[in-house]
């Protein structure tokens, strides 16, 4: 699959790209959106979902970028690690915060497997809080 360009994109695709550029105040969309434009319906749905959730809300935008990086590391998605780490830095993340984030992600992946291995039953107090 090849990325679409401003010349090869349909009006429908360019309308989504224009909304990304004006929402994010950037001159061009990044590669992800150029490739995803091969499936215009999914381009539109993915952008609308990110726009609805990643902007202002219950969590601050930086926290959401850090969560995005954490999931991307766990799934080993190189593109997503690079783009969301850049976004986190643009939103103010310090090097110390990113390093600590990596440590938390490492530990969570370790204790997830230890809990699996021992098949640890959920404590009653955690059930109470969750349901």
- The CA distance from 74 to 101, in Å, is 12
What DSSP letter does each residue of 41-67 carry, written as one string? HHHHHHHHHHHHHHSSSSS-HHHHHHH
- Rounded CA separation 107/119 (Å): 18
Residue 56 touches its own copies, criterion: CB under 8 A: no
Is 91 among the residues that bind its own copies (CB under 8 A)?
no
Asked if 67 interacts with its own copies (CB under 8 A), we say: yes
Q: Is 17 in the site for its own copies (CB under 8 A)?
A: no
27 near its own copies, judged by CB under 8 A: no
Q: Check binding of 15 to its own copies (CB under 8 A).
A: no
Among 21, 24, 89, 91, binds its own copies (CB under 8 A): 89
CA distance 40 to 14: 10
Asked whether 56 and 82 are in contact (CB, 8 A), the reply is no
Q: Is 12 in the site for its own copies (CB under 8 A)?
A: no
Return the residue of 11, 46, 91, 92 that touches its own copies, per CB under 8 A: 46
Binds its own copies by CB under 8 A, chosen from 8, 10, 23, 74:
74
Out of 4, 80, 91, 92, the residue judged to bind its own copies by CB under 8 A? 80
C-beta contacts of 40-43 below 8 A and 24+ residues apart? 40/10, 40/12, 40/13, 40/16, 43/13, 43/16
| Residue 18: CB minimum distance to its own copies, A | 19
């Amino acid at each position: 699959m090849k990325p679409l360009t401003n010349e090869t994109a349909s009006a429908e695709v360019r309308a989504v790209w224009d909304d990304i550029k004006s929402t994010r105040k950037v001159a061009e969309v990044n590669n992800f959106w150029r490739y995803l434009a091969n499936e215009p319906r999914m381009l539109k749905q993915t952008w609308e979902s990110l726009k609805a959730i990643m902007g202002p809300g219950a969590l601050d935008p930086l926290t959401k970028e850090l969560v995005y990086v954490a999931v991307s590391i766990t799934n080993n998605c190189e593109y997503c690690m690079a783009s969301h780490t850049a976004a986190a830095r643009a939103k103010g993340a310090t090097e110390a915060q990113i390093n600590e984030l990596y440590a938390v992600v490492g530990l969570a992946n370790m204790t997830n497997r230890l809990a699996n291995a021992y098949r640890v039953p959920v404590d009653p107090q955690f059930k109470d809080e969750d349901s």
